[in-house]
Each structure stands twice: as structure tokens, then as C-alpha cells.
Structure 1
Amino acid sequence: MPPPTISPSTEKLIPVVGLSISGTFPANPIATTAHSVVFKVHSKLYRRDVVVKIVNRNAIPSSIAEKFLPRELDITMKVRHPHIARCLAITRPAPTKIVIISDYYERGTLLDLILTHKRLKENPLSVTLFRQLIEAINYLHKRGIAHRDVKLENIMIDGNGDIKLIDFGFARHIERRERSRSFCGTQPYTCPQITRFRPYEPFTADYYACGIVLFTMVVGKWPNLTMSSMNIFPDKLPSRSCRRLITSLLDENESCRAGYDECVNSEWMGGHPVWMFANHAYFYEEVPNRDEDPSNFEMSEI
């Protein structure tokens, strides 16, 4: 397969960006889209490998460039959480170019991990990764941000095996109880309301997508959503407590669909009571004393 073509304007920009991060660009990018090109670069400035995404604003439809792009850049720069990809810098070195510099995560996506292992063991791997995912989602929701494109391809795995949620292209600030009319996302992660082009509650839509992620992690294939949620599981997979949680996450009724509290307090997650510290600033759960019963706490900031 021939290497992807890079526009002359981007080629001229690469040395400038390389100088700004004290890094040398490789000959070929690691990814390209209709409006962007992505490189893995070792930066002496950041003292590690970084991802450099160069966006051509002129290649984006004007409606998206005016509506979605400013949201993406604003949210990408503001969020700080151990399970959300870290954006290091956003620059505009040319009127039509935007450069986004982020940490590089060497183990690829959660989809890559599932394809390699066929499916993931429920305990401790799946329950740990899923807890990390809903902590990232809860962090966003508490700040009034709906992601709206949660999927395996948007969940990276870092060198420690922890997840990092990426891609805020469809994310937006929204008020609680406000319904969204932008029918965005990716099949099969989109909730029934989006599929039917009906106004939807974006926070519960994120948890529906989390349900699809969890099903795929523990079963190793997409759910057959033409069947009722009670009949989508193979005979022996997953465990009953995991099935109940997935079924609750995939509830068509938004008001009944599981959210953060229901996940954390579920029987499936309750079977893993002691959580690892994510970093010095956040924790999942205090390790209880011997005389105390384990209790679930949401991720808190010290």
C-alpha cells in the first residue's frame, strides 16, 4: 500500500512544528483522515513520544468547523483526568491549520486489545478497565460535558495497561435534562433514540455506549441488537451479575437506564471492592480497615 499523501501546505508546516517541540517528524504519519494527518514524534521538549495531529480547517465542512471544532478544542484543552487522554498543547501556526499535541499511548486501542485476546476476562481486567471508563465519563458529566462518541476505538491503552478516553469531536457542554438533537455517534454504540432520530438525553446515551463497550469486552463480539436485551448473550458468557449490569445499561428507556451510581453499586462491580489508586490526585476507593465493610466511593480529587 502506498504511503498516504500529505498536502504541500502541511509538508511546509511540519519543520516549523518539529522545531516548536524539539522533535523530528518521521516520513509517514500513523493515521490520516479527510481533514487531518497524525504523526508519532519523539519530543525533546516533552521528553517522550507525543502524537501530533495537524488539522486542515479548510477541509472540514463549514457547519462542522463552526459548530463542532471550537467545542472539541475547548474541551480537549480543559479536561484533566487520569483516564482521559492528556492534551499538551493546541496551536494555530497558520490561518487554516490547527496543531494538537497529545500524549502517545503505545498499546493501541481497547479494540486492538480485544481483537488480540478474543475477549477479556471479567475479573480483574474487564471490571478494572470498565471502572476506569465510567470514572472518566462521570468526571465529564459532573462538569456538564457529554462525550457522545464513546466506543472501543476512542479508548486508548497506556503503558501501564490503563485506559485513556480520547476524541472530543462530538462532545459538548449541556444542561441536565436538556435533550440533544445532534444525532451523532457511531453504530452500534448509539442508543435507540438516536437511531430513530428522536431528541435524546446525551448523558444516558453515553452510558448506553458504555454498555456496548462492556458487552464487547467480556463476550468478544458485537451484541445482536435486533434481539431483546435479555437474549443477546451467548449461553455461558458473561456471568449473571455482568449480564444484569449490561442489560440495565442497554435499557431503551432513558429514565431506567443505568448510570454511574448503578454501575459502581452493582453486584458485578461490588465483587471487586478494593480499587487501585489512579495517581496521587485521584482515588477510586479507600482501602477499608479490617473491621469495616468495603464501601464504594466515586473517584474524588484530593
Structure 2
Amino acid sequence: MFWRLDPKNLKPGQMVDGWRIVRKIGGGSYAVVYEVEKGGKRFALKVACQVDTRGDPKQTDARARREVVCLQKLDHPHIIRMWAHGRCGDPRSGFLYVVLDLVDGYTLGEWVRRTYPTVHEDVVVFLKLFDALEHMHGRGVFHRDLSLRNIMVTKEGEPVVIDFGAADYADAEELTDAQVPPCTPRNRSPEAVRFWRENLHNPEARYTFQATDDIFALGADLYDVLTDPTPDLSKNRPSLQGLVAPASPFKVTQGRVPLDLSTYAMMLLHPSLKERPATAKDARRPLEDFAKCEGPEWRDTRPHPVAAQLPPEPAEGVPAPVEEEQPGGVEVPIPAHPSAVQGAGVAALNSARLALRRPALVGLLALVVLAAAVAASLLHRSAPAAPFPMARSAPAEQPPPAPALAEKPTSRPAQLPSSHPTQKEASPSVRLPENSPTLTNGVPNPQKASPRRVLSKVERCALLLFTLAWVEAGCTGVQTRPDPETCPKDAVDAMEKELGWSVGYQQPAIVVDLTKGGTPHPLTKVEDAHTVFKDGPVTGELAEDEGKAQKGTRLEGHLWTTGDRIYGRYRRAHLPGGRTVPICVELISGGNLGLDKQEGSKPGAAVGSKEVNGLAVERWR
């Protein structure tokens, strides 16, 4: 019987109230979606999955009921339609399900990458989406997660808003257990982000979601569609809520996006609520005018040339990689694509040359100043002191330098090939023989040795400038963040089966370093939420029960603190009874990979939050 089966792993051919399972489409921590068949027609069956047989701590059942109510209120050609709903098994403890349209098409991000739409086609799609949003708000429903993956585009080019799992409606029961509702962080409005920051340590505070939050989210999708040729694959997007406004679509595409449409897209993202449209109807009206434009810059121009959207050709003899399904949950910022514009070959190359030339010029200037300082110091010496004889072993063989790459202006410095040093790398590359001089031994006449000379101000300044230039040029001897890599299959299986976590969705609360302690509740001082972290191995723990894993479960991992953020990965979990299972969990903060460095951070001593969220992944980013 269905209620005795695992709703997350229904097999083809099994029946759910007369609906025959065809295949599993996808799922997360809240629900799983299957393709089903009934009466010769295909539908999508979404099953709400309670995460704990002892009850429903995640309020899964209540969220499913709220989703049903929202869908019952809506009837629009560009909003997914609900055909039926029910509960399988026991009326009290069975699983709620809804039967929906089966959309044959792509997510909005995939649609951009795989169909190469023109500017006019983008306008028409978003005109229909804002029309759907107007209908939604008119019925008192807020979607609250209008991200690229929650909008589908059919093979005929018709957009469809899907996944109302985070939706809300007027007079609905309050289910949010955090300061702000769950959604894709990149699409969160500036006022919601501001509220979250101001009430970070006030667990009772609740943000009042408004229509303007949905409008901003859809505006963020429009911006990404216009500025990024592969929005479903890109990883390092510029923040939309930062102190510096992102570059306009007109600038990013070097004019391929018309200026009027670019100005409109930036208006939807304006940090001031007074400057953005107050209603979906207001946001839709300019798109009606844009849809009537007939010029070639609208009808014949694509924001992104096809070449910018094609996958790189695999190396000879290397099998083409299989495209991985994009995990749901948190998105991270992605870079602008200067190469995705007309004439980008020259523009991108010039930008890259400037990016590479800057540290080179700084380094050259530093060398000149250093040489001048050394020359001045030599002229003032009465007689140069003879250097102490030093017996050295032959230097270790160095690998040939890698060819220079034309990096994008927003790319990071080159990274080391491994996230952990090997035993060989951890040892000195040059060893002194046993009879070599040390600080006090082997030095002829140590009593008469020349005292250490104090560097002059000019020399110290030159040395500092040279060091800064070296760091600016890359400083590749220090790894600022771990490299991307695929998570071992046994770790993915352990997280899903042993811990009951949904990979790509589960975000356990983690005490980063148990030796530093967690965040006290309630806080007496804001500083109590922060501590100092250093590079190296770390042992954290779960701050609360997560799936089948209990609060206090030990997590073994590694921290990287020398870059722009604090990065962390946990690879092992110690379960009760002494058993250890592999995991893949990386630290996230505000939807971005890694933790923000707080005021007071210094090289080798980064200040960050004691307690943050992790993300269970199947591939390290």
C-alpha cells in the first residue's frame, strides 16, 4: 500500500489513487515530483514528504495544504494548473499530493541557453509573466520564490509559473520559522535583505512579504536573462543588493540590449522601493510598448551570440561530460559576460589585458623603488659585510610555468590543484643539511657577527610595496578557496539514506567550530555571535536536529580564511555509537558560498559568524 512505501522513491508502475507512476522528475526536502499517467494522459504528481515519522517538524503537511489553497485561487494560462489533490493512505498520517500540468519544456535559465531567444522574445515572455503575476496578486496570492528554476517555458515558447511550495495568501496561517520567508537569496528584495540584517539576532521578528517583493524577484530574472548567456549554469553572479549597482544590460551586452529595455530592467532592481513599480500592472505596461517595437534591434538581435552559449569543445580523446541536473535551493552570484557581445573578442581581450597589466605595473614600480632603496643603502655603507657561508641542498625542481590565460576582469586568481596540501607539499621544498649553520651554530665567530641591520623607512616602504604587488599579482602560493570537485557517490548516498537529507536542498544549521561555541540565545552582545577562525582542519557540529541526524552530531572538515570570504567544507559526520559516514556539506551565508568576513578580520585571523547554514551538495562549487 502506498502509505507504507517511501514517497521519495516510488517506482514506475506503482499506483497512487489511480495515478500510475511513470518516472521521477525531481524533488527536494519538501516534496517529490513524479510523471504519472491516467486515462492515457500524462500529468505531474507532487507528493508532500514528511521528514520525520514521529511527527511533522518541518510543517510539511501544512505547507502542502497552503499550496493547494493557493492553486485553487488561480486560473491563468501562464500559471501551472492543479487538476486534483488528495491524501494517500491514512486520512490523518498519509501524504498529501497534488496533480498538476506536465510542462514539456525548459526552465527559464535553460530556455535562454538552449533556444537563443531574441530581445523581442524575451520581452514577450516577461510580458506574459507579469500578466500572470498581476492575476496572482489580484487573487491575494504571493509566489515568494520567482527564481529561474521556478519558471518553465514550453517548447512553443509559452512561460508557466510553477512550484507554489513557498507561496502564501491573505489570512493564511503563519508557517515561517525564520525572520524572512524561504526563497532564492539572489531574488530577495533589498528591503527584505535589510530587514534580515537588522533582525539577525531577533528570532521573533517576521518580515511582511509584499507584492513589490515578487516584482523585484521577476525583475532579477529579467536581468539575468538579458545579461547572462548561460544563467542556469553560471556560478559567480554580481550581487543585486550590494552597495554598488550591477552593470546595466546595455553595458554588459555592449548595446545588444536596447537602452530603453535596459533602463526598464534596472528600474525593477532599484534599491529604493519608491523608484520601483508598486504593482505588477505598473511593471507590465512598459513591456506592452516594447512588445510592439518592430526594429531589427528588437526582432533580429539576440542579447547573447550563439557562440557564447555553446558548451566548450572537449579535449581530443576526452569523453564529453554528461550534463548534471542543477540542484535546487541556493544560487550563488555569477559574472557578467563581456565575451557574450558583438565584437567581444577584442573587448574581452582588452579587458583581460588591462586586468593583467595592472598588477604587472605595480610590481614593476615596486622593483624600481626597491632597487633605488638598495642602491642608496649600499652607497651609505662603509664596507659591505661578507655573507655567512651557507651550505644548501639543491633546490627542488619547479614545474614549468603555466601559460598566461586571458582572464575575465571578474575572475578569481588561479587556484592550487588540491584543496589540501599533500605530505610532500607540506614539507619544505629546500632542506638544509645537518651541518648547515643555524641561528647560533655553525657561524664563524658568532660573538663578532654583525648585528642585524634595521631597514630604513625607504627600504621598508619599498618592501611593503613589493609585497602588495606580489599579492596583487596573484600570490598563488596561498590557496584562498577550495577547488570545485565532484562529491563521492558514497557521501551522497550516506546523506540521503543515513541522514535523511535532500542533496541540493538541505541546509543544516552548523556550529562552525565547536571549540568556539555556538551563538548564545538570546544574544547579550552582537559580538557574541562572532569569533576568529584560522585556516586548517575544523570540527563543527549540528546546531539542531536535521533529518535523521541529531543536534550535536560532530562534523569534520576544513576552513580556508585567507581569501575574500571564509570557506568551509565538512567531509565526515560522526554518528551515535562511534560510526562515521562521509558527507559533502559546504558553508553558505545569505545564499552565497562561504561566510562574510566581519570587521576586525586580519590576515590569518578572519572574524565570522559562529553559527551558520551549510548546504548538502553532490558537487563542491
Range of TM-score over shorter length: 0.7 to 0.9
RMSD over aligned CA atoms reads 3.0
SS of 2:275's partner is: coil
Aligned runs of 1:29-44 on 2, under 5 Å? 29-44=24-39
Q: 1:173 aligns with which of 146, 157, 169?
A: 169
Seen in structure 2, the aligned counterparts of structure 1 residues 209 and 85 have a Cα distance that, compared at 3 Å, is same
After TM superposition, give the deviation of residue 8 of structure 1 in Å.
3.1
Question: Which protein shows a greater Rg?
Answer: 2
Unaligned runs of 5+ in 1: 1-6, 275-302
Q: Structure 1: which amino acid aligns with 2:25?
A: I
8 Å contact kept, 2:105–2:155: yes
Q: 2:135 aligns with which of 131, 135, 139?
A: 139
The Cα offsets for residues 128-152 of structure 1, whole Å up to 9 and x where unpaired, read as: 1001100111001111211111111
Q: Structure 1: which amino acid aligns with 2:169?
A: H
After TM superposition, give the deviation of residue 253 of structure 1 in Å.
1.9
Cα distance between partner residues in 1 of 2:263 and 2:100: 37
Q: Structure 2: which amino acid aligns with 1:231?
A: A
After TM superposition, give the deviation of residue 156 of structure 1 in Å.
1.3
Q: 2:118 aligns with which of 111, 116, 121?
A: 121
- Give 1:217's aligned residue: 225
Cα distance between partner residues in 2 of 1:142 and 1:200: 18
- Give 1:203's aligned residue: 211
- Give 1:3's aligned residue: none
State the aligned residue count.
256
Aligned runs of 1:8-87 on 2, under 5 Å? 8-10=5-7, 11=10, 15-17=14-16, 20-21=18-19, 23=20, 25-26=21-22, 28-44=23-39, 47-59=40-52, 62-65=57-60, 68-87=63-82
After TM superposition, give the deviation of residue 192 of structure 1 in Å.
1.2
After TM superposition, give the deviation of residue 224 of structure 1 in Å.
4.1
Unaligned runs of 5+ in 2: 199-206, 232-236, 294-621
Do residues 156 (structure 1) and 152 (structure 2) align? yes
- Give 1:242's aligned residue: 261
SS of 1:229's partner is: coil
After TM superposition, give the deviation of residue 66 of structure 1 in Å.
6.2
After TM superposition, give the deviation of residue 195 of structure 1 in Å.
1.9
- Give 1:262's aligned residue: 282
Cα distance between partner residues in 2 of 1:250 and 1:35: 30
Q: Structure 1: which amino acid aligns with 2:74?
A: V
Cα distance between partner residues in 2 of 1:242 and 1:67: 41
Cα distance between partner residues in 1 of 2:180 and 2:13: 35
Percent identity reads 21
Q: Structure 2: which amino acid aligns with 1:101?
A: V
After TM superposition, give the deviation of residue 200 of structure 1 in Å.
5.0
Cα distance between partner residues in 2 of 1:256 and 1:103: 37
After TM superposition, give the deviation of residue 190 of structure 1 in Å.
0.7
Q: Structure 2: which amino acid aligns with 1:8?
A: L
SS of 2:85's partner is: strand
Seen in structure 2, the aligned counterparts of structure 1 residues 167 and 77 have a Cα distance that, compared at 3 Å, is same
Q: Structure 1: which amino acid aligns with 2:247?
A: N
Seen in structure 2, the aligned counterparts of structure 1 residues 157 and 265 have a Cα distance that, compared at 3 Å, is closer
8 Å contact kept, 2:44–2:100: yes
SS of 1:50's partner is: strand
After TM superposition, give the deviation of residue 102 of structure 1 in Å.
0.8
- Give 2:83's aligned residue: 88
Cα distance between partner residues in 1 of 2:181 and 2:5: 35
8 Å contact kept, 2:29–2:51: no
8 Å contact kept, 1:189–1:212: yes
- RCO greater where, 1 or 2, for CA within 8 Å and sep 6 or more? 1
Q: 2:101 aligns with which of 100, 103, 108?
A: 103
8 Å contact kept, 1:57–1:96: no
Q: Structure 2: which amino acid aligns with 1:71?
A: R
After TM superposition, give the deviation of residue 79 of structure 1 in Å.
1.3
Q: Structure 1: which amino acid aligns with 2:265?
A: I
Q: What's the TM-score, normalizing by structure 1?
A: 0.74
